[in-house]
Structure 1
């Protein structure tokens, strides 16, 4: 039974990742209207005709989201019943399913009635919370047989501030990145790293301010994670989960920055744009794991 729960948790985590990538693919290929304004049907049909590229992308995203919903529900119920005695399981199960339903409702509302760019930008962030919750459930399931021991954590107040601060700030930066996509501001500043537009380096319109604001916020994310990693090197090398957690976060934020620059340089090459979304999903997952560890800490 425990083996089956582990298998389901891994499959569900992968499915949630596909939702994130699928949503990014819909946005980046302009396929949001691929099924018209009908939901859950596509152009008023179960199997739409004709099947354009945009329709296939949007319909595939809906199908993956639907299947993932059943997987998340099954995982949450099974984990609730089998591991409900572990304090984090029931809250994570609730958050996983609640935010999955919420992102589905926002997506459906956007199809039928339209939404502002600000609200649509929340869609990715909400999906990210659901993914991170499922990922944490998976890690807890693998902890049960002590193959992944993360229960004896000792943290000082400074490290806790780093962990809580970085994940909240990174989530805000994710929102600015989603806003860049939905405002179609990805190439508002086609040069890296500054916005050279003939009038100096300062942005001159709203889209350029959104783009440069996201870049500045992303740089601060790197600086903060680097500072947290240096603190972990000095004081937490013996706590492998903390040390390697920050090391992984630092590597991912570097790849995230490089992929972001390449997206601009290559003028929105699709594979790089999807990699950019994938990396931030992994980064948020690692930061969520560190947050889980911080809630278990005992004072030094």
Structure 2
């Protein structure tokens, strides 16, 4: 059964990546109204009589989301039944279904009644959390046969707090990025990393969209610097842990790729594939942070149960 669960979990995780990228594609191609204000039908029909490019994008996203939702539900039920004895499995099984339904409802509400840019920007963040719960469930399934050895790992309290703070801050940065998309502020600053002629103090006369764009760039820069500093701490304190050093090396690579793709969005004038890669990198980075939160939670549990000394 574990073998089948592995395949199912991998399909669900990959499917959620397509859901995330599909949502980004809908926004970036302006296909939010591709099916009008009708949901879950398209223009009030199961199969529209006429198709437009925007309709195909929106309808494809709905079909993929619905199919992945069924896979996630099946995965959650089977994982609960066969791996419910693992402490985190039941919580993640419920959470994966809950956040998937929540993001679908937010999307449906936006289609039928419309939402402000600030509310719409929440959608991608909810989708990220949904992806993270499924990604963690997948890792737990692979842990079941000891493919991932984390039993001896203990993360110090100060590092647990910092990892949690970094994850919360990442969600805030993701929100600013989503706000850039929904307010159509992607190309309002022609230069990079600063807005005009790369002059950092030339902020007089910025309009709302330029403040949104530069606010995102500043928050992203802080995220990168913070990740680099935490990576150095992790390597110094957990150099014997393959999971920590290897995992944080992947996380650091992802956030650097995120910055590179963000710059290329400006240089390529919003190339669609670069923009989708930008969404992919931050999704994977958030997934990695979620895994470290799970490991940190285990360390805290061990301390409370007396299995390890807090100063270890």
TM-score under structure 2 length normalisation: 0.93
CA contact 1:177–1:214 (8 Å) conserved in 2: yes
- d(CA) in 2 for partners of 1:154 and 1:99? 29
Matches within 5 A, 1:178-217: 178-196=178-196, 201-202=202-203, 204-217=206-219
Does the CA-based 8 Å contact 2:189-2:210 persist in structure 1? yes
State whether residues 6 and 141 of structure 1, in contact with CA within 8 Å, keep that contact through their aligned partners in structure 2. yes
Contact (CA 8 Å) 1:151, 1:296: kept in 2 or not? no
2:233 aligned partner: 231
Contact 1:249 1:286 in 2 (8 A): yes
Gaps (5+ residues) in structure 1?
none
Q: How has the CA–CA distance of structure 1 residues 92 and 196 changed in structure 2, closer, same or farther, with 3 Å as cutoff?
A: same
Mapped contact 2:76–2:97 kept (Cα < 8 A): yes
> Contact 2:191/2:198 (CA < 8 Å) preserved in 1?
no
Check if 1:56 corresponds to 2:41. no
Q: 1:222 to 1:198 in 2, by over 3 A?
A: closer
Q: Which is worse superposed, 272-281 or 203-212?
A: 203-212
Match of 1:29 in 2: 29
CA displacement, residues 166-220 of structure 1 (integer Å, 9 cap, x when unaligned): 1111111001100110011111212101111899621611111111010000000
Secondary structure of 2:206 counterpart: coil
Q: Distance in 1 between matches of 2:38 and 2:288?
A: 37
Distance (whole Å) between structure 1 residues aligned to residue 125 and residue 160 of structure 2: 23
Task: Provide, for residues 205-247 of structure 1, a one-character-per-residue CA deviation record: whole Å limited to 9, x for no partner.
Answer: 1111111010000000011110111101211111111111211
Report how many residues are paired: 300
Measure the CA separation in 2 of the matches of 1:11 and 1:292. 22
Q: Distance in 1 between matches of 2:63 and 2:182?
A: 22
User: Aligned partners of 2:285, 2:249: CA distance in 1, in Å?
Assistant: 11
Residue matched to 1:173? 173
What's the TM-score once normalised by structure 1's chain length? 0.97
After TM superposition, give the deviation of residue 43 of structure 1 in Å: 0.8
Does structure 1 conserve the Cα–Cα contact (< 8 Å) formed by 2:110 and 2:120? yes
2:252 pairs with one of 240, 250, 253 = 250
Residue matched to 1:222: 224
Deviates more, 1:12-21 or 1:233-242: 233-242
SS at match of 1:296: helix
Task: Give the equivalent residue in structure 2 for 1:280.
Answer: 282
After superposition, the Cα gap between the structure-2 partners of 1:230 and 1:197, relative to the gap in structure 1 and judged at 3 Å, is: closer
* 1:18 matches 2:22: no
Q: Equivalent residue for 1:270?
A: 272
Q: Distance in 1 between matches of 2:11 and 2:288?
A: 18
Matches within 5 A, 1:108-127: 108-127=108-127
Secondary structure of the residue aligned to 1:155 is: coil
1:78 aligns with 2:87: no
3-state SS, counterpart of residue 118 of structure 2: helix
Equivalent pair of 1:189/1:195 in contact (CA under 8 Å)? yes
RMSD across aligned C-alpha pairs, in angstroms?
1.4
Gap regions ≥5 residues in structure 2:
300-307
Q: Which residue of 2 aligns with 1:38?
A: 38
Residues 261 and 277, structure 2, Cα contact 8 Å, conserved in 1: yes
